[in-house]
Structure 1
Amino acid sequence: MTPLLESTIEGLFLGAVQTLWDGRAPSAIAKVRATGRREIGPTGFIDDAQADLAVHGGADKAIHHYAFDHYASWIGESAVPPETSAGAFGENISTVGMTEDTLCIGDILQLGTAVVQISQGRQPCWKLNMHTGNRQMAFLFQTTGRTGWYYRVLETGSAGVGDSITLIERPEPKWSVKFVTDARLKRTVNKDDAGHLAELSVLADGWRKAFAKMATGNRQEDTRTRLEG
């Protein structure tokens, strides 16, 4: 059977919890390039870490995938220095040819020998600002929709650079990652779509709850702590 969409893992990045900035909470955003095959458990790569499990990691945010396709835009817009390379945004997986426009919430993919499912887009936070040295970076991620996306792990396995990542099932073709992430972060979704997304079983629970509020007309959300720290 011809794959629905296929790419190759160009970069794999894993990190440890570190104190990176004086007077700030620790973080594992500073991922480093990993070689060889790495095991994927129920909550992501077992050699990867998250500092604050209340907002990072867990079953619905097990692996972060970011499209290398976006780096040229960030560099062209002077949001990051010209020498910026893959892994600069704290992602685990870097590929070319898969973006928020070409993938949907609920998509199931073969990642090396593991099977994963797209659960939500990324909600950027102040740590991205600190890590990139651009105080507006989290806001720019949010406004452009170039956030990347998270996977939950359906079947454990392993993956490494050079492995294929292949879309094998698309249960929810209506809801692209770009549309749903924009709807969540910009809160401009209409009540009908918000109601449908609140009931979308493949969407991360936290996002479903947010859309349930929007479906009632409540679009209020204080994002200052997340975006500014």
Structure 2
Amino acid sequence: MPVVLSLNVAQKTVPADHARAGATGIDKRPVDGPLRISPAGPKGTAGSGVEGDSIADWSAHGGEYQAVYGYAREDLDWWQSELDVPLHNGQFGENLTTQGIDHTTALVGEQWRIGTALLEVSGPRIPCRTFAEFLGQRGWVKRFTQQGRPGAYFRVLEAGLAGPGDEITVVHRPDHDVTVELYLRAVTTESALLPRLLAAGDSVPPEVVELVHKRSAVDH
């Protein structure tokens, strides 16, 4: 049975020289739940959809299509073995550390019921310098991208309460093949895949749809 192992938030942002905003909320730690999960406003105008979670750079994180970030404990364990360092729940900046469900093969637009909240898969996490500096790993952006275990961002379709131990139920799977992994490849290393993202409709953020159209215009 897929479950939430931990619900993680950054109680506050902390200064970070390497972060574009001069601070970061990546250091998320497990908290006692449940907490309220709510829809977020447009990117740049809103932070996290998780109650009590701090985000520093709203231009890059948070907002409707990045209201919640999830990562599988199974993938954390894989990285733990690869890096030979302990990785606690929340170490990758995820709000939800899960067990028993694969984020990489999830479809964009797939809907997960967690507690009383309804979340929709909206895309992969794209690694940045702040992530690399936080982990202290040289070449991390390239390595994380190549391995294709990005975790999944979610938008919130129905507000509700979610917490550790809550079952995760997939209540809808859309009729297309746009996985989180394909999305990651399309926007990082294989731009020829970008047009395929349009099959996911409005589950894809508007700025990514715009990127697809710009790329198509250049190609033609």
Match of 2:63 in 1: 58
Q: Which residue of 1 is the match for residue 6 of structure 2? A: 11
Partner of 1:71, secondary structure, is: helix
> Shift of the alpha carbon at 1:129?
0.9
Q: Is the 8 A contact 2:4 2:98 kept in 1?
A: yes
In structure 1, runs of 5+ residues without a counterpart are: 1-5, 219-229
| Separation in 1, partners of 2:95, 2:174 | 24
CA shift, 1:103, in A, is 0.9
Paired residues in the alignment total: 208
Q: Indicate the residue corresponding to 2:208 in structure 1.
A: 207
Contact 1:15 1:31 in 2 (8 A): yes
Q: Which amino acid aligns with 1:92?
A: N
Indicate which of 82, 102, 108 corresponds to 1:77: 82
- Distance in 2 (CA, whole Å) between partners of 1:73 and 1:189 is 29
What's 2:38 paired with?
Answer: 41
Give unpaired runs (5+ residues) of structure 2: 41-48
Q: In structure 1, what residue type is equivalent to 2:144?
A: F
Whole-Å separation in 1 of the counterparts to 2:59 and 2:35? 25
Q: C-alpha separation between the residues in 1 aligned to 2:141 and 2:58?
A: 19
Q: CA deviation at 1:11?
A: 1.3
Q: Which amino acid aligns with 1:195?
A: P
Q: Which is worse superposed, 13-22 or 179-188?
A: 13-22
CA 1:140–1:107 in 2, change beyond 3 Å: closer, same or farther? Answer: same
Distance in 2, Cα, partners of 1:36 & 1:195: 40
Q: CA deviation at 1:14?
A: 0.4
RMSD: 1.9
- 1:27 offset after TM fit, Å? 0.5
Using the TM superposition, give the Cα deviation of residue 23 of structure 1 relative to its aligned residue in structure 2, in angstroms: 6.7
CA-CA distance at 1:206 after TM superposition: 1.9
The answer to whether the Cα contact below 8 Å between 2:18 and 2:130 also exists between their aligned partners in 1 is no
Residue equivalent to 2:26: 29
2:168 is aligned to 165
TM score, norm. by length of structure 2: 0.86
Q: Aligned letter for 1:60?
A: Y
Question: C-alpha deviations, 1:128-151, integer Å up to 9, x for none?
Answer: 111111132222221111111111
Question: d(CA) in 1 for partners of 2:211 and 2:149?
Answer: 20
Sequence identity (%): 28
